């Protein structure tokens, strides 16, 4: 599944780029605004909701139909001229006239006209696995209609090299002619119309697409052209791909800007603009998905990825102006529509397939509205927020269960001879009950009011929690869905937009014993940790402080430091600085540029070899102190620092955030509201009482 990895770009970075002393930042902005090439095929950022009461769809049967006599497909050789293969799902022969059917227009590579070729549309055993992947996609999108059209081209030798040509056809003309032929043979109902069109190219088919880029009249009409899937298709025509993608990004930016400028005023203007922009990107925005893993293809696709990143960097100011307060979320959605994915297992002929089923995954990124039955408004429902019945509906009650606290004693106050403190140990079941009693709450009733299986923004929280926290999450989810869930207020989309992790183990709620703090809100079921791996707890003394100081001196020439009480903006800037510092491990040019202007030890006069050793030592120190020492965890910290929570999520949780309070980036709790506020006050009082008890015990034990 596509991990919409760290997407950033704060004002501090922009200012740093403007500064001549910040040469190391410029390259890093590309990495931060634009994540690295994905290591696995992207998953769908949106999922089309099924019509009401619709049962799970069966996988459709796909018929492979050879269409001949196409006048719009004239090749130099008459052998295969005018032929195409169409993949037609069952049921389209009886569809209603006037409805639209999406089209996947696929161009094969060299020798694809040979039925024995492993990637030929004419080979029923082709390694592309297109019919199976298309069927699986349609099964996942009930109500979606799509056919594939695969024109048969020819391989010609030009200047000692092979080229794949398709006769210079016009996409719209060819598709309309194929629809007419299929309707005439009874494969399609008469009167069905082509809907959204996606062009897919493999290998040498990309050369033809490059020529289509240069002749806009050959591409589908702008209102129907929805995407390009490029499978190891870039050769010496990289520039044409770069120019095409930049043009589509320009169109998207213009649309976002228009939505922002045309919005009416009002207290919720920013949220309305975002909803409109999210709707555009999810349902109308263009898609470009590139895949490469064989031979020299990854190099070409990485160059395309880097050029996309450069565009995002160049246009950051314009995108910020259009997106306003929701810049991070809009950036996330726009970037998700333009992806390059590494395919390490590719054998070239099977790049559309492999174990990741790359074509199916690419299809899954298409807008949820593509190929939907036009007459069925129920297929893509819109939430009516002014419906009195909907407003009056009460949320479902949580099923209560008992949560048992540990009866094993833990140390609340450690022995400290210098401070005259004796050890005080109490089991959690006892001290939590005492705290609740002092808060005038019934301990038995409290721990009988936990619940499990809570879902939040499309993520399942595995740990139990108190129903007060479950209710709070339900309340804030409603707001976050409205603001970030697109036109259907989808919780999964909202969670994706807010970059909430979907990784197992990245959430934690109730605990029956302490882990870090001796007494925490987790033990009362009123705390939740999110995005665990990428958001450690800071504040680990001199060794950690030395890492921040060293990083700051190299990146900006000034010591950096963490302290409790820092704002989100300050923490984000510190995180950005640390990520830049770690990026020098893989960027010799940026490292040498910073070393050249360093004026303080240990960096002044240091060569890149010893400097890299120091940076690696600091990365090792940070990950050790932050308990992120596994290889995968180290990679996350190296690539993203200590903070990947968006400001919109932090504010939208409407809870006390540990990042600002005491450096625990992943932690949110209810200490600032309701029963949680009273409980937290009693926790503080209880700790103070136990410290006094510790001093008293020491004094009694050491009389005389």
Distance CA 683, CA 664 (A): 18
pLDDT, residue 122, reads 82
Residue 238 near residue 300, CB atoms below 8 Å: yes
Kindly state the DSSP code that residue 487 receives in the 8-state scheme.
T
Domain spanning 34-372: CATH 1.10.1130.10: no
Domain ranges of the chain: 34-372, 410-532+670-699, 541-643
For residues 218-226, give the mean pLDDT. 94
Q: For residue 689, give both structure tokens.
A: 């009482």
pLDDT for position 79:
67
For the ranges 134-148, 384-398, 688-702, the lowest mean pLDDT is seen at 384-398
Helical spans, DSSP H, in 65-140? 130-140
Angstrom distances, CA of residue 445 to CA of 396, 433, 441, 464, 466: 20, 11, 8, 15, 11
* Per-residue model confidence as pLDDT tens digits over 20-78: 233 232 333 334 456 666 655 444 443 333 433 444 557 889 999 999 999 998 887 75
pLDDT value at residue 39: 58
- The pLDDT of residue 633: 94
In terms of DSSP H, where are the helices of 162-296?
171-184, 205-214, 238-262, 269-283
Task: Tell me what pLDDT residue 9 has.
Answer: 32
Q: How far apart are CA 88 and CA 96, in angstroms?
A: 16
The mean pLDDT value for 78-91 works out to 85
d(CA 635, CA 436): 42
% of residues, the chain, pLDDT over 70: 88
Lowest mean pLDDT among 372-386, 508-522, 611-625: 372-386
Q: Residue 565 carries which DSSP code?
A: T
Residue 267 has pLDDT above 90, yes or no: no
DSSP-derived pairing of the beta strands 84-89 and 465-466: unpaired
Q: If you write DSSP's letter for every residue of 212-232 in order, what string do you get?
A: HHH-GGGSPPTTTEEEEEEES
Could you give the C-alpha distances from 569 to 10, 328, 379, 621, 676, in angstroms and in order? 9, 13, 41, 25, 27
Residue count of the chain: 704
Banded model confidence at residue 379, pLDDT cuts 50, 70, 90: very low
Q: Which residue has the higher pLDDT, 391 or 521?
A: 521
In 3D, which of 514, 465, 439, 400 has the Cα closest to residue 674? 439
Cα of first residue to Cα of last residue in the chain, in angstroms, is 69
Query: Residue 231 above 70 pLDDT?
Result: yes
Residues pairing with 287 in the sheet = 227
Write the CA distances from 552 to 352, 548, 643, integer angstroms: 45, 6, 17
pLDDT digits (tens, 9 = 90+) for 578-593: 999 999 999 999 999 9
Please provide the DSSP assignment of 400-439 as one string: PB--PPP-S-EEEE--BTTTTB--EEE-HHHHHHHHHHHT
For the cut 60, the answer to whether the pLDDT of residue 373 exceeds it is yes
The overall average pLDDT reported for the chain is: 86
Tokens of 655: 């809870």
- The model's confidence at residue 488, banded by pLDDT at 50, 70 and 90, is confident
Segment 559-567 long-range contacts (CB within 8 Å, at least 24 positions apart) = 562/538, 562/663, 564/539, 564/661, 564/662, 564/663, 565/660, 565/661, 566/659, 566/660, 567/660
What residues have CB less than 8 Å from 441, skipping those under 6 apart? 675, 678, 679
Residue 602: asked if its preceding bond is cis (omega within 30°), the reply is yes
Distance, in Å, from the CA atom of 51 to the CA atom of 48, rounded to the nearest integer, reads: 9
Strand 424-426, strand 527-529: pairing: unpaired
pTM of the model: 0.58
Query: Cα angle at 293 between 242 and 634, to 5 degrees?
Result: 95
Phi, psi of 653 (to 5 degrees): -65, -25
Q: What is the pLDDT of residues 425-454, one digit of tens each?
A: 999 999 999 999 999 999 999 999 999 999
Mean pLDDT is lowest, of 191-205, 478-492, 603-617, 646-660, for 478-492
Q: What is the rounded average pLDDT of the residues 629-652?
A: 94
Degrees, nearest 5: CA angle 4-10-12: 145
Structural tokens at position 116: 């024995």
Neighbours of 399 (CB within 10 A): 10
Is a pLDDT exceeding 60 seen at residue 4? no
pLDDT of residue 40: 56
What are the pLDDT digits (tens) for 310-361? 999 999 999 999 999 899 889 989 998 999 999 988 999 999 998 889 999 9
Residues 6 or more apart whose Cβ sits within 8 Å of residue 412: 424, 425, 426, 431, 518, 519, 687, 690
Q: What is the pLDDT of residue 396?
A: 52
């Amino acid at each position: 599944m596509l991990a919409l990895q760290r997407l950033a770009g704060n004002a501090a970075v922009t200012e740093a780029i403007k500064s001549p002393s910040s040469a190391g930042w410029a390259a890093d902005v590309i990495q931060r605004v634009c994540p690295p090439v994905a290591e696995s095929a992207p998953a769908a950022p949106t999922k089309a909701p099924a019509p009401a009461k619709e049962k799970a769809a069966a996988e459709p049967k796909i018929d492979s139909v050879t269409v001949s006599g196409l006048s719009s497909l004239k090749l130099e050789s008459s052998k295969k001229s005018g032929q195409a293969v169409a993949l037609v799902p069952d049921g389209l022969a009886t569809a209603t006239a006037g409805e639209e059917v999406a089209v996947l227009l696929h161009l094969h590579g060299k020798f694809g006209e040979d039925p024995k070729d492993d990637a030929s549309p004419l080979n029923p055993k082709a390694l592309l696995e297109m019919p199976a992947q298309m069927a699986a996609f349609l099964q996942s999108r009930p109500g979606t209609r799509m056919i594939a059209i695969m024109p048969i081209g020819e391989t010609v030798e030009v200047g000692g090299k092979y080229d794949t040509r398709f006769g210079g056809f016009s996409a719209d003309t060819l598709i309309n002619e194929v629809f007419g032929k299929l309707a005439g043979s009874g494969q399609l109902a008469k009167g069905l119309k082509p809907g959204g069109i996606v062009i897919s190219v493999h290998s040498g088919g990309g050369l033809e697409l490059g020529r289509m880029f240069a002749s806009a009249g050959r591409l589908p009409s702008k209102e129907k052209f929805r995407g390009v899937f490029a499978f190891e298709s870039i050769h010496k025509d990289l520039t044409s791909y770069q120019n095409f993608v930049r043009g589509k990004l320009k169109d998207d930016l213009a649309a976002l800007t228009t939505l922002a400028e045309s919005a009416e005023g009002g207290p919720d203007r920013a949220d309305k603009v975002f909803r409109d922009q999210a709707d555009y990107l999810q349902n109308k925005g263009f898609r470009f998905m590139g895949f490469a893993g064989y031979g020299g293809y990854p190099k070409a696709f990485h160059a395309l990825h880097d050029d996309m990143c450069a565009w995002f960097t160049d246009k950051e100011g314009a995108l910020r102006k259009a997106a306003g307060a929701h810049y991070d979320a809009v950036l996330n959605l726009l970037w998700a529509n333009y992806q390059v994915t590494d395919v390490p297992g590719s054998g070239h002929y099977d790049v559309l397939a492999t174990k990741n089923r790359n074509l199916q995954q690419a299809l899954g990124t298409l807008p949820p509205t593509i190929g939907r039955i036009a007459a069925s408004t129920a297929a893509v429902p819109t939430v009516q927020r002014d419906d009195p019945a909907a407003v009056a509906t009460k949320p479902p009650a949580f099923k209560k269960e008992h949560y048992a606290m540990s009866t094993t004693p833990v140390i609340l106050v450690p022995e400290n001879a210098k401070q005259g403190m004796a050890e005080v140990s109490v089991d959690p079941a006892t001290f939590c009950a005492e705290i609740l009693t002092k808060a005038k709450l019934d301990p038995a009733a409290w721990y009988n009011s936990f619940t499990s299986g809570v879902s939040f923004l499309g993520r399942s929280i595995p740990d139990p929690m108190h129903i007060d926290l479950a209710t709070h999450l339900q309340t804030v989810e409603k707001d976050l869905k409205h603001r970030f869930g697109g036109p259907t207020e989808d919780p999964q989309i909202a969670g994706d937009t807010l970059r909430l992790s979907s990784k197992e183990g990245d959430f934690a709620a109730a605990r029956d014993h302490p882990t870090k703090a001796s007494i925490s809100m987790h033990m009362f079921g009123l705390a939740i940790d999110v995005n665990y791996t990428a958001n450690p707890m800071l504040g680990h003394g001199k060794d950690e402080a030395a890492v921040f100081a060293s990083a700051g001196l190299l990146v900006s020439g000034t010591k950096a430091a963490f302290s409790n009480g820092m704002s989100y903006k300050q923490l984000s800037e510190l995180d950005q600085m640390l990520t830049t510092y770690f990026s020098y491990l893989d960027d010799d040019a940026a490292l040498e540029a910073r070393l050249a202007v360093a004026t303080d030890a240990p960096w002044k006069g240091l060569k890149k070899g010893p400097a890299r050793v120091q940076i690696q030592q600091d990365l090792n120190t940070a990950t050790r102190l932050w308990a992120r020492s596994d290889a995968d965890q180290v990679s996350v910290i190296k690539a993203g620092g200590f903070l990947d929570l968006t400001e919109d999520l932090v504010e939208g949780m409407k809870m006390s955030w540990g990042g600002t309070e005491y450096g625990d980036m992943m932690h949110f709790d209810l200490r600032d509201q309701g029963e949680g506020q009273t409980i937290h006050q009693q926790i503080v009082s209880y700790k103070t009482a136990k410290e006094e008890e510790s001093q008293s015990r020491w004094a009694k034990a050491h009389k005389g």
